[in-house]
Amino acid sequence: MVYRYCSRAIPWVALLVAVACGGSGTQGASGSSSTGSGASSGDAGIGSESTGSGAGAATGSMGSGSSDVASGASSGNTAAPGSTSGGVSSGLGSAGSTGSASASGASGAAGTGATSGSAASGSVATSGHTGPSPGCGMAPVGAVSGAFTNHKLPIPVCTGCSATMANCPRDCIAPEFAPGGASSQMAGVENFTNRDFSIELAANYQTSTPYPIYMGGGGCGGSPPQMGDGYGIPGDDGAIKIGLSYIGQCFADGGIQCSGSIATEPLCKNGPEIPYIRALLKWVESNFCVDMGKEFIGGGSSGGWESMTAGCGDADELRGFVSVSGGLRVNQWPCTGPMAALMVVNSGDGPNPVGPLAKINLDLDSFGSAPERDSLLMRNGCVGTATTTYNATFSACLKYTGCPDQFPVIWCELNGGHDNTMQGVDYKNAMWPFLASLP
């Protein structure tokens, strides 16, 4: 890939203010081999597009294991909560954040003074998206334990709004991303209004027990349908597992993989990934017994960018995310609240830069992954930038000590390339224990 940069550097403090509630995104390179997110041999290290154990259609009463599902998502023209024409949140869920934080040298970490004071006591407003889901008590039709089942997921097209104006709701696809639109994409018979996913129930699934959800997205390079574990992490067998699927080689959460070209990247403020995640969660919640306070997303490479995007634009539903080689997009859905996160990055991962870059990478529509960390520190109401070792086993992981207990920020910067291992330690092993420990 040949990276194209802006002619002027954007001051970091100004960027920090502008994208304080930015999200992550997909790998934004024009070719899968150059992105380092799915085509290279190194991608095996982060489990890109791995089907995992038991992948494939369910058998027995499930037949072929393929079915269509109604998303239940409604169309309309009501603006999404917190959305603005500029794609920046008004500060919802950021513990009364009232101003910009100063940059802290090359690290770009949010400085003290980012919040109005409520964060100091560890008090951060939450969404109230908790409790057992409507599907508790229902017979588990459409999924089984021990194998993944593929499903189609229709998502309606928005009416009375446009991605150009960034005024579409989150439960439908902006017209620009629907078939015939400027940023429409197709993969076989699938498009942004007709996508698929895979699901596997927890072992010994009980209809009256609320289970966590873990959604995983892999790196670039595959194509629908999704038949297995998109990005599995060790220890998640006690969760309802979802394999996320993309349309055009990578997730369309930002950059040119979302928009189709640099010129149309602003359309990604109303991109198709948040409606996809929300429709998927609604279907799972309606059909199975879910603990709605423990809905998580994770991913590597393109899936890592996707996780950061979802952790911003759907923060009022999701409890936390984990990622490898993700980053912060400039043009993204506004954030809807704080978010717990464990992020793994690599100093030598050029196509997925840590940054903060002095000049924006136009293909990625990003200044790197460090801006995502700094956005979370502000959004979560963290005070200061002091850190401590998160876990002795995972020595590269630092925990920011000034964050509320409900919304920890864990930053793991490895010294390798496009990978999640260092000195024989696989940092994927830290992910499920982190998610499961969240209060």
Going from the N-terminus, what domains does the chain have, and what CATH number goes with each? 12-436 (3.40.50.1820)
User: What pLDDT is stored for residue 129 in this prediction?
Assistant: 84
Other CB atoms within a 10 A radius of the CB of residue 286 amount to 16
- Look up residue 294 and give its two tokens: 């423990």
Contact 241, 232 (CB under 8 A): yes
| 199 Cβ contact list (under 8 Å, min separation 6) | 142, 143, 148, 149, 151, 240, 241, 242, 243, 284
Distance (Å, rounded) from C-alpha 34 to C-alpha 255? 15
Phi then psi for 272, rounded to 5 degrees? -85, -10
- pLDDT tens across 302-339, in order? 999 999 999 999 999 999 999 999 999 999 999 999 99
Distances (CA, A) of 401 to 125, 192, 378, 381: 19, 40, 13, 12
- pLDDT tens across 2-47, in order? 333 333 333 333 333 333 333 333 333 333 333 333 333 333 333 3
SS3 sequence, 263-288?
HHHHHHHHCCHHHHHHHHHHHHHHHC
Distance (Å, rounded) from C-alpha 369 to C-alpha 109? 11
Cα angle: 81, vertex 87, 89; to 5 degrees: 50
User: What pLDDT is stored for residue 96 in this prediction?
Assistant: 32
Distance (Å, rounded) from C-alpha 199 to C-alpha 285? 12
Kindly state the DSSP code that residue 373 receives in the 8-state scheme. Answer: H
- Residues in the chain where the model's pLDDT stays below 70: 1-128
H or E stretch at 66: strand 66-68
Contact 39, 121 (CB under 8 A): no
Phi then psi for 156, rounded to 5 degrees? -70, 160
Distance (Å, rounded) from C-alpha 275 to C-alpha 294? 19
Helix axes 273-287, 302-313, angle to 10 degrees: 80
What three-state secondary structure class fits 11?
coil
Distances (CA, A) of 177 to 94, 252, 329, 379: 30, 10, 18, 29
Residue 252 half-sphere exposure toward CB, CA atoms < 13 A: 36
Helix and strand counts by DSSP (H, E) for the chain = 7, 15
- pLDDT tens across 389-423, in order? 999 999 999 999 999 999 999 999 999 889 899 99
